[in-house]
Amino acid sequence: MKYSGQIRTLVAVDCIILGFDGEEYKLLLIQRGFAPEKKKWSLMGGFIQPTETLEEAAIRILKQLTGLENVYMEQLHTFSDPNRDPVERTIAVAYFALVDIQKYEKQISKEFHAEWFSLKDTPELIFDHNQMIEMAKNRLRYKAAFHPILFELLPDKFTLPQLQALYEGLYDTLFDRRNFSRKLLSTGLFIKQKEKEKETSKKGAFYYKLDQDRYLSDFQAFLKFIPNPDKLMYQEA
């Protein structure tokens, strides 16, 4: 301790882990195993360790809970209300992660009493975790309107109707099927497969895959995935 006269604070990382089950958005929560607020639902989190960065901590915590690595994750915001944790002042850095819900390893959930909740029906959480989730939702809405980020939630192969459900679910609205597919396909990000998905409809819908090269090179490009984005996005909390 060489900067004298300054306080030192606990720094925690909290992970907002989002998935999509084909119908609706899901949020992975754990039942807190220790006081305070034991048994209450909470985001998965942990304290930063001496030799790791925040990002490394977030990756560590995500892996602990889901078994997943190489997952899309970004820093969301740092929360600092002096009384946000009643036990002791803790600065919390929130990260949000987008995972393919099917890759999630269930056996791990037992250790933490984890469960997927509908994002629309999030329970009351400890501390400021509900606020974090609100912010993550807004960030995702914003980013997904212009960048091909939602594909992190889908398996390798997906159909146009699945894609549309993904976008409609996020913005809680309906898009015109014809205009939607034209807009999406015009990005050139998708490669049509020869097989069809035939579980959900008689005719079956062609599978598509992401063109990985284009996906990487165009991730920052400014695409427009939805019409009238300003009417569908909300201010960050």
Partner DNA sequence: TAATAAAATGTAATATTGACACAATTATAA
Partner DNA sequence: TTATAATTGTGTCAATATTACATTTTATTA
The residues binding DNA (CB under 7 A) are: 159-161, 176-179, 181-183, 186, 196, 198, 200-206, 224, 227-228
**Rounded least distance, CB 119 to DNA, Å:** 23
202 binds, among DNA, its own copies, none (CB under 5 to 8 A by kind): DNA
Q: Does 52 bind its own copies (CB under 8 A)?
A: yes
> Is 55 among the residues that bind its own copies (CB under 8 A)?
yes
- Tell me phi and psi for residue 74, to 5 degrees: -145, 150
Window 81-110: residues binding its own copies (CB under 8 A): 81-82, 87-91, 93
State the minimum distance, in angstroms, from the CB of residue 235 to its own copies.
5
- Contacted entry of its own copies, DNA, none for residue 75, CB cut-off 5 to 8 Å set by kind: its own copies
**Among residues 168 and 236, whose Cβ is nearest to DNA?**
168
Q: Nearer to DNA by C-beta: 10 or 221?
A: 221
Of residues 192-231, those binding its own copies (CB under 8 A): 220-223, 229-230
Other C-beta atoms closer than 10 Å to the C-beta of 167 total 19
Alpha-carbon distances of 90 from 75, 226, 234, rounded to whole Å: 17, 38, 28
- CA nearest neighbour of 208 among 149, 167, 154, 160: 160
Residue of 33, 38, 53, 196 interacting with its own copies (CB under 8 A):
53
Residue 107 belongs to what H/E stretch? Answer: helix 106-112
Instruction: Classify residue 155 as exposed, middle or buried by CB count within 10 Å of its CB (0-12, 13-18, 19+).
Output: middle
The Cα–Cα gap between 26 and 23 comes to 9
How many Å is the maximal CA-CA distance in the chain? 72
Q: What whole-number distance in Å separates Cα of residue 51 and Cα of residue 66? A: 23
The residues binding its own copies (CB under 8 A) are: 1-3, 6-11, 47-55, 75, 77-78, 80-82, 87-91, 93, 220-223, 229-230, 233-235
